[in-house]
């Protein structure tokens, strides 16, 4: 019998990539997603195109239009499926959006995660449980590291952080945003189910996770949204820091590959920072440059002096712990490869939309 992968947020960027990847590796996929992204972000966040893609690409894909806040529903479904691995990627993922919807944010990110952990403990405590956490658990503390200003980006001036932010960095006593705080709650709970109950859990504290399958919107999915703006000739808004704020970007398939490595060799209550690392980091100004090279179109933008609350000025992940625990894992897509794929995907999706509008109009 095929091994069973239970994936929440299966129509999102990471969930869909993980579903395809685990399916190719012999798993039967049970996906949970109620298209809440369209509720959080409106029609542009709609992920129903991804559900159609999953059904086409994964022949025996089984979908559950279930809300992870539905405790009874989640307990019953996990007990019925008895998964061999749980990958939890469903979330309210935007720190700006969270302030307007704190109950929805906390109920989804913190309580929804607890529902899944407890469901796993009751039905399949030996199944590896991988939780997508975020670098926002560090709050704005990374902004206290001394920086140096380069021509197109900020960088750490303290040699202690030459490889990036390690997992030992404090998550305490800083401003996280409402989203960051709800993710701290889930991150700590996932660790606790590992440490207290001995379950094979891990938190992956993501930098910028990206790829061609993102439904990027202004409030979430920086590179995907930036590329879309470029192709459509829309204005991209830069919020503060001179546009030199640095993000490390990792292709969603490299995230899926790490999750699979963890499944094969799980540990209890672990925490990893996962991102593109220094090599795949870029500032917004540098991202404009690369995207323009691929599309040949100038990037329109406006600059607003006020930065986003709690936004990191410079953040890239120290990947050394991941690499030491899982030496066979490495990044396979460079930043340029990833941006090229995003450009191609948006050109295709927007081309199809335009063609459809042409036929209908
Ligand atoms: N994309 C990034 O740059 C990034 C960075 C750091 C951390 N993360 C984390 O990774 C995870 C996945 O992010 P993503 O970029 O794939 O987000 P996404 O929004 O593309 O995917 C999340 C999916 O979860 C679904 N969902 C939301 N609430 C739900 C609910 N209550 N019940 C069922 N389904 C629900 C949404 O419909 C969506 O399809 C999140 O936990 C996010 O916080 C993402």
Residue nearest to atom 39 of ligand 1 (CA): 12
Rounded to whole angstroms, the Cα distance separating 294 from 8 reads 33
CA of 114 to the centre of ligand 1 (A): 16
Any ligand 1 atom below 6 A from CB of 137: no
97 lines ligand 1 (CB under 6 A): no
Q: In the structure encoding, which two tokens stand for residue 308, read together?
A: 């986003």
pLDDT digit string (tens) for 220-257? 788 999 999 999 999 999 999 999 999 999 999 999 99
* pTM score: 0.95
Ligand 1 and 223: CB distance under 6 A: no
Tens digits of residue pLDDT in 131-187: 999 999 999 999 999 999 999 999 999 999 999 999 999 999 999 999 999 999 999
Q: Determine the atom of ligand 1 nearest the C-alpha atom of 206.
A: 6
Instruction: Quote the strand ranges of the chain, DSSP E.
Output: 3-8, 27-32, 62-64, 85-88, 129-134, 147-149, 154-156, 201-206, 208-210, 236-239, 246-251, 270-274, 281-283, 301-304
pLDDT of the residue at 360: 59
132 lines ligand 1 (CB under 6 A): yes
Ligand 1 centroid – CA 133 distance (Å): 10
How many CB atoms within 10 Å of residue 188? 15
Cβ of 38 closer than 6 Å to ligand 1, yes or no, is no
**Beta-carbon neighbour count of residue 144 at 10 Å?**
11
Q: Using most ligand atoms within 8 A of CB, pick from 53, 93, 274 the residue to mutate for ligand 1.
A: 93
The angle, 0 to 180 degrees and rounded to 10, between the axes of the packed helices 112-123 and 71-81 is 30
- Report the separation in Å between the CA atom of 13 and the middle of ligand 1, taken as the mean of its atom positions: 7
Q: Is residue 206 in contact with ligand 1, taking CB distance under 6 Å?
A: yes
> Is 6 within 8 Å of 30 (Cβ atoms)?
yes
Q: Is 111 in the pocket of ligand 1 (CB under 6 A)?
A: no
- By the 8 A CB rule, do 291 and 236 touch? no
- Determine if ligand 1 sits within 6 Å of the CB of residue 14: yes
pLDDT at 217 (0 to 100): 77
Does ligand 1 have an atom closer than 6 angstroms to the CB of 67? Answer: yes
Distances (CA, A) of 278 to 22, 33, 165, 173, 292: 28, 33, 10, 26, 22
Radius of gyration of the chain (CA): 20
**What does the pLDDT profile of the chain (361 residues) look like in tens digits?**
799 999 999 999 999 999 999 999 999 999 999 999 999 988 888 989 999 999 999 989 999 999 999 999 999 999 999 999 999 999 999 888 999 999 999 999 999 999 999 999 999 999 999 999 999 999 999 999 999 999 999 999 999 999 999 999 999 999 999 999 999 999 999 999 999 999 999 999 999 999 988 777 777 788 999 999 999 999 999 999 999 999 999 999 999 999 999 999 999 999 999 999 999 999 999 999 999 999 999 999 999 999 988 889 999 999 999 999 999 999 999 999 999 999 999 999 888 777 777 665 5
Distance of alpha carbon 235 from alpha carbon 229, whole angstroms: 6
Task: Supply the pLDDT for residue 300.
Answer: 97
Please state whether 166 falls in left (phi above 0), alpha (psi between -120 and 50) or beta: beta
C-alpha 220 to ligand 1 mean position (Å): 10
Instruction: Provide DSSP, 296-360.
Output: --PPPEEEESSPPTT--SB--B--HHHHHH-TT----S-HHHHHHHHHHHHHHHHHHHHHHHHHH
């Amino acid at each position: 019998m095929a091994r069973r992968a239970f994936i929440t947020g299966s129509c999102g960027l990471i969930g869909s990539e993980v579903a395809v990847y685990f399916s190719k590796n012999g798993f039967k996929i049970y996906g949970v997603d109620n298209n809440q992204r369209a509720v959080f972000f409106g029609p542009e966040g709609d992920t129903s195109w991804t559900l159609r893609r999953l059904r086409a690409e994964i022949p025996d894909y089984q979908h559950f239009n279930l809300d992870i806040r539905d405790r009874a529903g989640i307990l019953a479904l996990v007990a019925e499926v008895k998964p061999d691995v749980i990958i939890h990627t469903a979330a309210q993922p935007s720190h700006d959006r969270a302030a307007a919807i704190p109950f929805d944010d906390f109920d989804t990110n913190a309580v929804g995660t607890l529902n899944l952990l407890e469901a796993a403990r009751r039905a399949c405590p030996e199944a590896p449980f991988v939780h997508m956490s975020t670098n926002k658990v560090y709050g704005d503390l990374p902004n206290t590291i001394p920086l140096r200003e380069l021509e197109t980006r900020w960088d750490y001036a303290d040699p202690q952080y030459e490889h990036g932010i390690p997992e030992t960095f404090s998550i305490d006593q800083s401003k996280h945003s409402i989203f960051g705080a709800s993710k701290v709650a889930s991150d700590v709970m996932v660790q606790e189910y590992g440490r207290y109950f001995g379950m094979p859990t891990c938190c992956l504290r993501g930098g910028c996770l990206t790829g061609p399958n993102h439904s990027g919107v202004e409030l979430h999915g920086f590179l995907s949204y930036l590329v879309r703006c470029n192709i459509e000739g829309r204005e991209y808004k830069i919020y503060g820091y001179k546009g030199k704020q640095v993000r490390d970007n990792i292709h969603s398939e490299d995230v899926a590959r790490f999750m699979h490595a963890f499944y094969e060799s799980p540990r209890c209550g672990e925490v990893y920072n996962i991102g593109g690392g220094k090599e795949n980091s870029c500032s917004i100004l540098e991202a404009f440059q690369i995207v323009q090279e691929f599309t040949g179109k100038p990037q329109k933008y406006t600059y607003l002096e006020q930065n986003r609350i709690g936004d990191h000025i410079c953040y890239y992940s120290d990947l050394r712990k991941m690499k030491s625990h899982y030496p066979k894992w490495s990044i396979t897509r460079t930043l340029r490869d990833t941006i090229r794929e995003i450009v191609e995907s948006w050109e295709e999706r927007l081309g199809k939309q335009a063609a459809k509008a042409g036929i209908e109009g």
